[in-house]
Each structure stands twice: as C-alpha cells, then as structure tokens.
C-alpha cells in the first residue's frame, strides 16, 4: 500500500496542497477512547505557521470528523478527518508546472506520474499533508496518555543552534508539551528564531534536528527481524517530508564508541529496570527494554528558497533557471515537531495493539 | 508479519545461532534468473569471520538450496536456503541462560518470550541469522547486475578511523566488489584493523559506519507517503543487528546546511539528469531521481566484550555482574558490509517488481 | 488492516449509516486515467433503491471527489470519495440500541466494540457503506474497459426464480451493462420482482445468487498458494454484507462430477486458447488461463424483516422479542449486483498492477 | 506476498513435488506452546495416501523441525518444518514437460513463469505442498485445543455419496478426530470408498465436499469490511488446490430462503448465547457470535485421470492429445480433510493473536 501505514492501527493519508480537501483515515483504534476536539485543534495549531517564522499562507485547518466517533468516543471503526483547503492561490505556481524545484519532488513525481500529478503547491507531496497525521495523532496521543505513555519532541538544533538534551525527563516532557516553540533550554529559542529570520531575510532557509522521547512503554514490544521497533519508527519517520536521517540512542555517535562505553548496564530496583546510560535508545534486539525510547530525526532545510537556482524543464528536459516566488517557510523543523510526536503516537498505538490486543488502549 | 520483509519480492528468515539450521525463503523473484552458487559462496565468505579480526567460531556456511531453482535458474516460486549449524559449543553459554548481557537482546527477549526463547548464542537474535540475508541477497544482486544496477558498500569508519567517500563512483564500486576488507582508501584498512585488534586485546570492541551506493536505478521508484524509498530502506536496514542510525545523502549534516547549500541543482545532458551535489541521496519526495542512491548506516560496537559488566538476573531480577567468555567479534562492521549490500539488493528487487511488474528482472 | 483491501491498488472504506458522511479512499490507481463523473453517478444509481422493491430511504448519494483527480484524470495519488448522509431518521432506531436484530451484526459488534459502536441504522455494518465501493469501482471499471477487460454480473436467482446462465458472452455483457434489473432472460425479471413484492407484503425478505463474468483478462495473473486469484476474489466478495458463499466455474457442482467431466480441455486456435467447458472458471492453480473468469456469490435474504423475532438485550443479555420498524429492503440482490462488479474491478486493477507494474492501466 | 498467509501468525510455504525438499515456516506462534512431534506425525499420516484409495507414491513425510522449538516448546520465533522428498520418479513425467494436463496448472504456470517453472509432478502446484500446511497446522491445532477451541472436518460428500451433517457436535468432533476416513455416518464410508474405487478402475476420479466446524471460539473476532472472518477463511481455503467453492452456514441454500427462515434467533441462557439454527455459520457482520463456526468447501475431482484428453503443447501452442501415466489419486477429498483442519487452525491462531495479543495462546 502506498499512503497507508500500520497493521492493527493504521492511517491512510489523502489530499493535495491546492486540491479541495486533505485528510486522513485512522483505522483500528480501540473503541471507547474519548476524542477531545479541543486537543486536536491545539495540536493542529502547533503544526501551523507561527508568525514571521513561517509561510504567509493562512489556513483555518478546521478538522471535521465525519466517521468513527459517536457520543464523543471512538467507535472502533475508521475515523475520518477532513480538512478543507481554503487559502489556495494557485496563480503563484504557474511556472512551477514545468520547472523542477531543486530539493522538491517535482522531477521525481514527473518520472512516476508522467505529468498527471497535481503540481500546484507541491500537490500530494506538500508538507501540508502532514495535517492529517497531526489530527489522527492527537487521538493516538490522548489514548496513550491515558495508559501512562508520554511522548515529547524538542528542537535539538535549528540553523546550527543546539538545544540541551533531556536530563530531568518527566519535567522536560511536561515543559515541551506546554510550549509552542519546543526547546528545553529556553535561552536557545531566541537564537534559533534569529537564525530562521536571518535565513528568511537572505531568501534562504535552515534545517534542524528533532529529538523525541517516549516514557511509560512496557518492555517486550517489537520484533527481532525486519519489524524491529527501530525499523517501524524509521519507516514512519522517513515519511515526513524533509527527513534525511533517523538515529536511536547514541545513534551515529555509537559508531565511534567502544563496546564498554556503548553498552547500557542493567540495574534493577524494586523490579524496575534502569541504566546509567541509554545509548540503545530503549530498544535492544528490536524490542523495548522499558527504558525511555529515544530517537533523533534530521530535517533538511526547506527546499523552497528565493535565490535563483539551476534546474530543468521537466517536459522538455532542457536546462533552465528558476526563481521561486510565493509563500514559503524559511524553516519547518519547529512545525515538524508535532508531526514527529504524532507519528510516534500512531506507531505506538499500532505496536501495542499488535502486542497486547485490539482492546489494549480502551 | 514478524520475520518477513517485502511485498512483491519478500524474504523470510528463520533459525537460531545454536539450533539445527538457519536460513531464508526468498519469494517472488522473477523466473529465469541464473543462480550462481559460486557467487553465493563468495558472498557468504565475505560475511564470515576473517582471521584474527573475528570470532573464532568456524562455520562452513554451506548453503543448500532446496526449492525454487530448476536447471540452474529461478522458477519464480519460493527459493529456500538452508545452512546447517555445525560448530556450536553450547556449553560456553551456560551462565548466559539467566544473566542479561548489556547491549544484547537477552532482557528484552525475556520480556517478550517469557523465558521460552532459545538463549544459546543469542538464539534468533544472533548476527548469524544474517547469513540467510546474504544467501538470498546474492541472487538479488546478480539479478540487478544483469539489469545494469550496481550496489557497493564501504566501511566509512571503523574504530574512529575514517575512509574517504565515493568520488569516482564506477571505479569505486568495481574496487569494493573485488576486495574483502571494503575501504576505498586502501591505506585506511591497516589503521582500521589495528583499531579492531587493539580493542580485542583490551577485551573491548569497536563500531563503525557503512556507506552504500546504488547506480543504474531508474527514476520514478518509491512512494510519496509512508512507503518512501527512504522509509523502505531504513525499515530493512534497521533489521540488521547493531544498526542504530540510517541517513540518506547529506543526512544529519543536512540539518546544519542552508537551503541554498543543500538543494541539489538539476542538470540535463542528452536527456540524462545529473547534479553537482547529491545531498538528497538520489531520492526526492520518497522517489528516485536517477542520481545514485546513497546512504550511511551506523553500527554500534559489538556488545559482547570481555570486561566485567553490571547487569541483572532475568529470572530473579536481582542485580549481578557478568564477565562474558566464549568466542566473539571485536568488530562486525567489516562483516556487516555484505549484509548491507544484500539488504539493499532485496529492497530494490521488491521495489522494481512492484513498480514495473513481476517479470521486470527476468 | 481492517477496512482496507488491496496491495498495489487499495481501497479504504469509512463511515456509518447515520453518521455525517461515508466514503472511500482509492489508492494506487495509475495516473492519467479519465474520471467520468457521469459514469460514477450512473453506477451509484444502480446501487440505490429502485421503486417499490427497496427501502424508502432516499439518499442523493452525490459523490464528491476531494483528492486524486486533476484536470479530469487520476493523478496517481489517493482518490477520496465523500458521500454526505442526508436522509437519516435516527429516531426509527431507538429500540435497536439494545435489542440484537437476528441476522444482523448488532450482537457480534457489541462483543467486539463493547457498546461504543454506532448502532444507528447498522452503523459501520450497514450495506450503505458499499456506496464507497461503487464510487471507487466506477473508476476501476472504466480503467479496465479501456484495456479491453469487461465485467458483468447478473441475478442468477432471486426469491427462488432462476435466470439462464451466460451463453453468448459478449452480447450478454453488453445487455447487462445497459439495464437496471440485471437478468439475461428478461422474462425472469417480472417473476423475480413479484417474489420480492410478495415477500415485502408478508413483512419478509428474499435472497438470491449473483453470477459474474470477466472477459479480456491476460493469462498468467494470480499466485499458486494463498494469493490464488480465487482466494483474492473470495476475500473481497465475502466483505459484501450478506454474502454467505462464493464459487468459481462449476463450483459446488464440481464436487459431484467425475474428473473426465470436470476437466476443461484445451483447444488452440490462432494462438488463442479456448475450451468446450469452463468448469474451472478461468483459473487453474490460482492463475488465469485467459478463459473468462466466472464466479457466483450467494446473498442471504435481508435480515431486516417485520415479523416478530426472538432475540436478546445486548446490555442485559436477557431474552426478549423484537419487531423491526423503519425502512428496509425486502431484497438486496439486485442492488448488490453493481457492488459485485465494483469489487471485481478493484481486485483486478490491483492484480494487474502487481503483475504488470503500476503504470499498466495508464 | 505470494506464498505467505497471515498477519500476526503467518505461514510461508516452499518446495516442489520433485525438488529436494518441501516445507513451511510458521511465524508468530506464542512462546511456550508444547510441540508434540507424535501428533504432527499422526496428522501427516492423515494427509498421506491410504491404501488403494490413493496414489502409489510412498513418502515417509518425516518432518524435521530445524528452528523455533527449544526444550520441546515454541520459542516465539519462526518454526521451520522441512520434509525431504524421496520417492520421486521424475522419468514418469517426461511428456508432461510440454503437454498441458487439463484441470492442472501446467498452462497457467507457463503463462506466468514462461517455461522456467519446475514442471515435474506439478512442481510447486502439487498437492504435496500441503504437507507443510499440515505440519504447521498440527502445532496450531494443539495450541487451540489447550484453549478449549476444537476443530473437526468431515467428508460431507464424495463421488455423489453424502454423509449426514453435524448434530451432536461435541461427540461428532470427538469421533472425527479419532478416525482416518472422516465420516459421521460410518455406513457412508464404504459407499464413498466404493465410488472412489469405481472411478479408479475406470481411469477416472471423483470430487467431494468437506464440512468444517469450530467450537469454543470467543465472540467478537473478525472485522466488518474486507477482513471479515468469512473473507479470511475463504482466502486461506481457496489456497488448497482443487477447492472451487466455499460457503458458510446455510451458504448457497440461504439464497433460496426467506429472511424469516434464514435469520438465526438469539437465545440467552446463563449468559451464554445459543440459537435454534446456525444459518450464518457463527459469523455475523464478519465477526464471531460465539456459535460454532461452520463452513463447507467444494473439492473438484482430481484432474489427473487416465483417459485420453484433448490439450495443447504449451511450447508450440499446437493442439495435441494426452494420456496421463504415472501414479495419481482417484480422489483427494479424504486427504484434504486434514488440510482443511490445519488451514482453519492457522487462520484462527492468527485471528486470536490479532484480537487478543501475541501471548493469547501461550
């Protein structure tokens, strides 16, 4: 399947940036989970543009749930989220019907869809499609919280400015889930935003890193081969546009460690496992240990920049140059944070339902 | 499914390190592909231990194909590879029946399988299970080569020693596929091996990075959401034991770039696309552009070290200490290289069959 | 996955009978297929109630396509069909919140969803949900016709009245696709409708059989084990509510034949295969032979009848009796015919895309 | 996937009739299930030829388990069953390399595999491949019995002779699971065997019907759309070679009933549901009700008959005639019975693991 992810709990995405509507179908969630439309709205806002840091496109992003919720609770059958597109200025995109924007999917889409793709605003490849992930993810996040499973993501780096990592995990999670620009060291927020603004003023863009933590997961979730929990998370995370790397625990840094540095010791206290390190990111042999799951995601700088770029005409295959106009984000890492949380929650609902049964999250 | 990967072309792994046999079922390969048992044997040797750098366990790793090949060619039906285990010294593992080795899956397996798992030599979690991937991968690599698609992986780093990256891609691939210790800058082989030996003498281990390149892929392969080519590759690569990170193109470094640095320009020459950079690793919007696919994989240091480590008894959950004995690798990154090539080939056979039909590789 | 079917081409269904909207997401259709909204509308009408034979519920069943179609053609990305519910008289269903209707899913849904299911009008179990199948199926049917693949279904029996079987296949298909009440022997239409009316007047209902034929399929489509073409068709057909049996070719009658009667001989004329019989329904070893694919589907009588029935209260598990009121169909077999055609088309688009590549239907 | 079935519990089949070995990989069974090799052997014998009624081919069908079982119990990781082929007389099949046997997969396989298929003895299409289903099924049957879930299949008809249906269900199941030729009315065994013998003496063959019952299943298992329990069972059952029809409860006969006849009333006694009929076969809305699951499977007569038949040369596409020699079954319905039981058990293990979690059968 092409736009569907998950086995027991699955999400199907649909829509194009400048089409009529976008959305998602979330299937397999246990029945009886309260659906808090206020929380969905709040999560949607986190994904939206924040002031000067983001695109000038303004969408209400009002989520309409047309199935799967009855008397305020999930029914156990597919939940459909529909978000009408409103502020679509398709005239901005005329030239982009045939000039491939570097770093975008225009050329690869042409090779796949032979010119029939909806090119307007990136069409089905637009980051806007993540709105469906966030709407569905909000239901998943609520369900997990009710079981004591918490997720938080911070902007580990943006435009070369680095946040501190997690140290007091519970307090850090609490903090992140109550702020809009998700940094642990609040002093870094200004520096990051300055980097974004500087890029914007130069007609350029910046990237960044997200770091996600999950606490409260039971041990014993995941599979040894192919469906390791790392495999499943990475599969889902690489679906977020602009993600170019995923690492767990020490990640790439583990490659430079000695075994004696990298191995996480086991310590048992009152039947609960702890460790003085978490270089394996809470996953061993593809299966949770009960330590916090920890991973980082690399987000490339937004490819839509205002500088002139060398490219090709996808119809004639001739060389040409392109200067993008219109409304674009100088950075998306701060908006992608809620997408990472949402994807994480959807993966976990699926994994827990497969491991412990479809009623587990009821 | 738990030990199966792929849709149109799929692989199913089975076996335990000290069980009777290990192996794989490769299904969906087009009919009529020549199966070269000599090439399979050669690939199996690359995965095996090389002299002093590796475990003292010696397995013939003779691959027996019991189905799916007729008159030297694939039939189109499941190809079954069976490798009998021979040199199993299970007595070495006595204490490991109840002490969780840090960095290994012993504890998480206990949480999942409740004590019924085969703990001997890591059981089903052993790196030995990758032998089935290599056997199946050899058939896949041959099939791809016949279509002009080439794969090569080098040891980008090992024990802190770094190889150069690809520059003359065709020659580099040729070189890598003719040597045992896969480095591009042959001067680095000695330094890496010295790092491995040093770790070994200290009862410790080292990790490393692999870098894989694929040339000759058609553009237009992959899907926009969830089944992006990055998602599929990462899914499969994270199934290799000890992998803690996967990145494409510039990967994590892209997070610190400006958009104007990261965007790969497009250049067209005689209807063929090129670019002065490959920061997106040949994939945009989850779909191939026709540029070489490029990714890196982080391999953590082998967790089996000879130093005393703090751990727990998985039956009683009491704290204890552990000093591992037996035969272990001070590094696996040089052996994992052929596993990365094999996984890559299997992913591509599946993707190409889905995109262009089941007879495409015939 | 729970409400999704298909691999390369897939459909996801959503909605409840008395919820806000129902619909489907059709993913994986090749790009560039013309989407004829007039044909969709025409197919939707076939599924709707016809005069006195059907439920008094009147729905416009206006299909809104909100994604995946651009300039009148498929884009290759998910096509979303939304049908708003309008004529919902939920007050009719009050008592049905707790009394299980015999033959309906009320009790089994309660066991699965623990009382959180939307019980109104059968909720997600309603035959109304097949509207999404018909909308998506219309696109599939058009795409297949453009490749010379034709599908037709007739009412083989209804209320004990039997139609003749196919004899002049091309003319029969033509005829069926131009009439509303799909019988081959038009003399049988009156008798069947009389049987439906008689049942209705008695507060009862009737069932029937559908027979479906497909011509123009290439040989070599399907798989030997598990994904035999019969397996895939049966899987999809048993998803139609009220289907209790599926048989191919001679079907159950084959069980009483001798081998010498049942075997279809092969005859070759100008490189084209024919046979004097089609007892295997065009499928051998799970794979098409190129003969017409032929199958029959048993539809039980509509379970909503007006006679008093013995049942239970699903909350208290106490015995009670029930007399259903409201608007119900005395038969659905004539409406299910277009659903069978649609399911058949969706299965074939998926199978052909898997076999010959995702661009095959372009 | 092509030779794999199931989600949480899956089976992968491999092998050809005259290849080196056949077998299966059973993945996802809970850990800790006792594996009784004696019971496996006993089930394998039921599948084998019985005296004069069956093929003269004699295979020991010794099952070797090479993975997934440790200390006599399942480990939770893939269980691999290997059965070496021994009594292969490939010379019998010379002419069949190019003449399509009517009713067999020779022609459709040629269209799919282009001449590379292993044609010897039917190759991968041989009924012999069901041996892997029976071996794996034996483990599944044992696991279900330990949870109080019982399965039995009888020969409802063979060569036109009909057995009675189930009446005293518990006793009937007990009886069937202790006899070799599975009929409920033992008087019918002789008549059926006489029909088989008569066909054999005439160089012909007979078919039959199997009827399967399952008791002890919890209510609430299955899905409303696409993965209805009927869909899943039918999918798996149609993978058994020679199956041409599957029906549940009243099946095709339901099509001729009135709603008032077909609806199963609900009766509650001590919180347990019963009904005076079982026309829906224990499944409503695709989900179990807790009543026994009941279905019938149509088995066509063995296509290998000794009479001269009209066919084609699959290489030249010229018309020719064929007189099959060698060793063949005049009937397979009595042997297919244990295959039906096994498939049923595998489907149920998968469904229960998905519904109630992977440890449910522990």
Q: At C325, give phi and psi (nearest 5°).
A: -110, -165
Contact C260 D5 (CB under 8 A): no
* Arithmetic mean of pLDDT over chain C: 95
Please name every residue paired with B213 in a beta bridge, in sequence order, or none if there are none. B152, B294
Give the residue from D25, D28, D72, D115 with the most B CB atoms within 10 Å of its CB, the best one to mutate. D25
D284 in contact with chain B, both atoms CB, cutoff 8 A: no
Interatomic CA distance for residues A141 and A144, integer angstroms? 5
| Per-residue pLDDT, D92 | 56
A86 in contact with chain C, both atoms CB, cutoff 8 A: no
Among C214, C213, C210, residue whose Cα is nearest residue C244? C210
CB pairs under 8 A between B and D: 182
A74 in contact with chain C, both atoms CB, cutoff 8 A: yes
Helices (H), C154-297: 169-176, 187-201, 229-237, 259-262
Q: How many CB atoms lie within 10 A of CB A71?
A: 9
Residues 6 or more apart whose Cβ sits within 8 Å of residue C216: C144, C147, C148, C149, C150
| Per-residue pLDDT, A187 | 94
Checking if the pLDDT of B307 tops 60, the result is: yes
Interatomic CA distance for residues C53 and C330, integer angstroms? 7
Helices (H), chain C: 37-47, 106-113, 130-146, 169-176, 187-201, 229-237, 259-262, 333-356
| Per-residue pLDDT, C94 | 74
Q: Nearest C-alpha of chain D: how many angstroms from A354?
A: 6
Helices (H), chain D: 37-47, 106-113, 130-146, 169-176, 187-201, 229-237, 259-262, 333-356
How many alpha carbons fall within 13 Å on the CB side of residue C87? 11
| D285 φψ region: left (φ > 0), alpha (ψ -120 to 50), beta (else) | left
Domains of chain A, with CATH numbers?
4-361 (3.60.150.10)
Query: For chain D, which chains pass the contact test of at least 3 CB pairs under 8 Å?
Result: A, B, C
Mean pLDDT for the stretch of residues A241-246: 97
Chain B hits for A301, Cβ within 8 Å = 254, 257-259, 261-262
Q: SS3 of A112, please?
A: helix
A357 in contact with chain D, both atoms CB, cutoff 8 A: yes
| Per-residue pLDDT, C21 | 97
Tokens standing for residue D297: 């499977």
Dump strand ranges (E) for B230-342.
243-248, 267-269, 272-274, 283-284, 287-288, 293-299, 309-312, 319-322
C228 in contact with chain B, both atoms CB, cutoff 8 A: no
| Per-residue pLDDT, D94 | 74
Checking if the pLDDT of C92 tops 60, the result is: no
- Report the percentage of chain C scoring pLDDT > 70: 96
| Per-residue pLDDT, A54 | 65
B19 and D93 Cβ atoms separated by less than 8 Å: no
C200 and C158 Cβ atoms separated by less than 8 Å: no
Range scoring the smallest mean pLDDT among A52-66, A194-208, B262-276: A52-66
D245 and C248 Cβ atoms separated by less than 8 Å: yes
Chain B hits for A244, Cβ within 8 Å = 230, 247-252, 254-255, 280-281
Interatomic CA distance for residues B58 and B43, integer angstroms? 16
* Alpha carbon separation from D267 to C314, D271, D273, D277 (Å, rounded): 11, 10, 6, 11
Q: SS3 of A59, please?
A: coil
Among B108, D194, B153, D38, residue whose Cα is nearest residue A283? B108
D317 in contact with chain C, both atoms CB, cutoff 8 A: yes
Contact C14 A25 (CB under 8 A): yes
DSSP labels, C304-354: --SSEEEEEBTTT--EEEEE--S---S--HHHHHHHHHHHHHHHHHHHHHH
- Report the percentage of chain A scoring pLDDT > 90: 90
Chain B hits for A354, Cβ within 8 Å = none
Q: At what angle do helices A229-237 and B229-237 cross, to 10 degrees?
A: 170
Chain D hits for A218, Cβ within 8 Å = none
DSSP labels, A322-358: EE--S---S--HHHHHHHHHHHHHHHHHHHHHHHH-T
Contact C1 A20 (CB under 8 A): no
| Per-residue pLDDT, B328 | 82
Q: Nearest C-alpha of chain D: how many angstroms from B116?
A: 5
Contact D67 B3 (CB under 8 A): no
C329 and C205 Cβ atoms separated by less than 8 Å: yes
Tokens standing for residue D9: 């519990």
Tokens standing for residue C283: 């499928």
Give the residue from C16, C229, C284, C342 with the most D CB atoms within 10 Å of its CB, the best one to mutate. C284
Please write the tens of the pLDDT for every residue from B119-160.
998 999 999 999 999 999 999 999 999 999 999 999 999 999
D235 and C281 Cβ atoms separated by less than 8 Å: no
Instruction: Return residues 19-48 of D near B (CB < 8 Å).
Output: 19-23, 25, 27-28, 31-32
- Report the percentage of chain B scoring pLDDT > 90: 90
C111 in contact with chain A, both atoms CB, cutoff 8 A: no
D10 and D79 Cβ atoms separated by less than 8 Å: no
- Is the pTM value of this prediction over 0.95? yes
Contact A27 C116 (CB under 8 A): no
Nearest residue, CB atoms, A356 vs list D7, D224, D357: D357
Strand order in the sheet with D21-27: D4-5, D10-14, D21-27, D79-84, D63-67
Interatomic CA distance for residues A163 and A177, integer angstroms? 16
B310 and A265 Cβ atoms separated by less than 8 Å: yes
| Per-residue pLDDT, B140 | 98
Please write the tens of the pLDDT for every residue from B12-60.
999 999 999 999 999 999 999 999 999 999 999 999 866 667 666 667 8
Q: At A151, give phi and psi (nearest 5°).
A: -130, 140
| Per-residue pLDDT, B1 | 83
Interatomic CA distance for residues C241 and A23, integer angstroms? 27
In the DSSP assignment, the letter for residue B57 is -
Mean pLDDT for the stretch of residues B282-305: 97
Banded pLDDT at A276 (limits 50, 70, 90) = very high
Do the bridges between strand D243-248 and strand D208-215 make them parallel or antiparallel, or are there none, so unpaired?
A: unpaired
Checking if the pLDDT of B335 tops 80, the result is: yes
Among B347, B283, B332, B353, residue whose Cα is nearest residue B122? B332
Interatomic CA distance for residues A281 and A260, integer angstroms? 16
Interatomic CA distance for residues B238 and A225, integer angstroms? 9
Checking if the pLDDT of A225 tops 80, the result is: yes
Give the containing element (helix H, strand E) for D76. none
Nearest residue, CB atoms, A8 vs list D77, D354, D360: D354
Between B175 and A56, whose confidence is greater? B175
A249 and A281 Cβ atoms separated by less than 8 Å: yes
Contact D207 C254 (CB under 8 A): yes
Mean pLDDT for the stretch of residues A320-335: 91
Mean pLDDT for the stretch of residues C128-154: 98
In the DSSP assignment, the letter for residue C218 is P
A74 and A84 Cβ atoms separated by less than 8 Å: no
Q: How many CB atoms lie within 10 A of CB A12?
A: 32
Please write the tens of the pLDDT for every residue from B187-231.
999 999 999 999 999 999 999 999 999 999 999 999 999 999 999
Q: What is the pLDDT along chain D (362 residues), one digit of tens a residue?
A: 899 999 999 999 999 999 999 999 999 999 999 999 999 999 999 998 666 576 666 778 899 999 999 999 999 999 999 999 987 665 656 777 899 999 999 999 999 999 999 999 899 999 999 999 999 999 999 999 999 999 999 999 999 999 999 999 999 999 999 999 999 999 999 999 999 999 999 999 999 999 999 999 999 999 999 999 999 999 999 999 999 999 999 999 999 999 999 999 999 998 889 999 999 999 999 999 999 999 999 999 999 999 999 999 999 999 999 998 877 899 999 999 999 999 999 999 999 999 999 999 99
Query: For chain A, which chains pass the contact test of at least 3 CB pairs under 8 Å?
Result: B, C, D
Interatomic CA distance for residues D324 and D102, integer angstroms? 10
CB pairs under 8 A between B and C: 19
D92 Cα distance to chain centroid: 27
Helices (H), C82-125: 106-113
CB pairs under 8 A between A and D: 19
Checking if the pLDDT of B98 tops 90, the result is: yes
Checking if the pLDDT of A88 tops 80, the result is: no
Give the residue from A25, A126, A360 with the most C CB atoms within 10 Å of its CB, the best one to mutate. A25
B142 and B33 Cβ atoms separated by less than 8 Å: yes
Mean pLDDT for the stretch of residues C32-56: 86
Contact B288 A108 (CB under 8 A): yes
Range scoring the smallest mean pLDDT among A249-258, A347-356, C120-129: C120-129
Residues 6 or more apart whose Cβ sits within 8 Å of residue B29: B9, B68, B74, B76, B79, B139, B140, B143, B349, B361
Do the bridges between strand D309-312 and strand D319-322 make them parallel or antiparallel, or are there none, so unpaired?
A: antiparallel
Q: Is the dihedral angle over the CA atoms B287, B293, B296, B299 positive or is it negative?
A: positive
Interatomic CA distance for residues A269 and C286, integer angstroms? 57
Among B27, B43, B343, residue whose Cα is nearest residue B214? B343
| Per-residue pLDDT, A1 | 82
């Amino acid at each position: 399947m092409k736009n569907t992810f998950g086995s027991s709990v699955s999400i199907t995405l649909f829509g194009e940036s400048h089409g009529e509507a976008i959305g998602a179908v979330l299937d397999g969630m246990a029945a009886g989970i309260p659906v808090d439309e206020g929380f969905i709205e709040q999560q949607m806002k986190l994904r939206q543009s924040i002031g000067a840091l983001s695109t000038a496109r303004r969408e209400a992003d009002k989520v309409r749930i047309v199935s799967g919720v009855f008397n305020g609770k999930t029914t156990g059958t597919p939940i459909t989220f529909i978000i009408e597109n409103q502020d679509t200025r398709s005239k901005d995109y005329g030239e982009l019907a045939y000039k491939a924007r570097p770093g975008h999917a225009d050329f690869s889409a042409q090779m796949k869809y032979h010119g029939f793709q909806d090119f307007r605003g990136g069409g089905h490849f637009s980051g806007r499609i993540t709105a469906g992930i966030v709407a569905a993810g909000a239901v998943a996040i609520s369900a997990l919280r009710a079981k004591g499973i918490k997720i938080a993501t911070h902007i580990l780096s943006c435009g070369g400015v680095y946040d501190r990592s997690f140290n007091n995990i519970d307090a850090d999670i609490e903090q992140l889930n109550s702020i809009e620009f998700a940094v642990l060291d609040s002093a870094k927020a200004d520096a990051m935003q300055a980097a974004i603004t500087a890029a914007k003023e130069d007609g350029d863009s910046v990237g960044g890193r997200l770091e996600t933590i999950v606490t409260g997961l039971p041990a014993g979730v995941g599979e040894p081969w192919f469906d390791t929990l790392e495999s499943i998370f990475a599969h889902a995370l690489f679906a977020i546009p602009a993600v170019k790397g995923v690492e767990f625990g020490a990640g790439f840094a583990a490659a430079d460690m000695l075994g004696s540095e990298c191995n996480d010791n086991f310590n048992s206290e009152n039947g609960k496992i702890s460790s003085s390190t978490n270089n394996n990111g809470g996953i061993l042999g593809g299966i949770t240990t009960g330590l916090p799951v920890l991973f980082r995601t690399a987000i490339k700088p937004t490819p839509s920049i205002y500088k002139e770029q060398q490219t090709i005409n996808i119809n004639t295959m001739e060389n040409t140059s392109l200067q993008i106009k219109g409304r674009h984000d100088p950075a998306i890492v701060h908006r992608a944070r809620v997408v990472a949380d949402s994807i994480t929650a959807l993966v976990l609902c699926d994994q827990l339902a497969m491991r412990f049964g479809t009623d587990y999250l009821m």
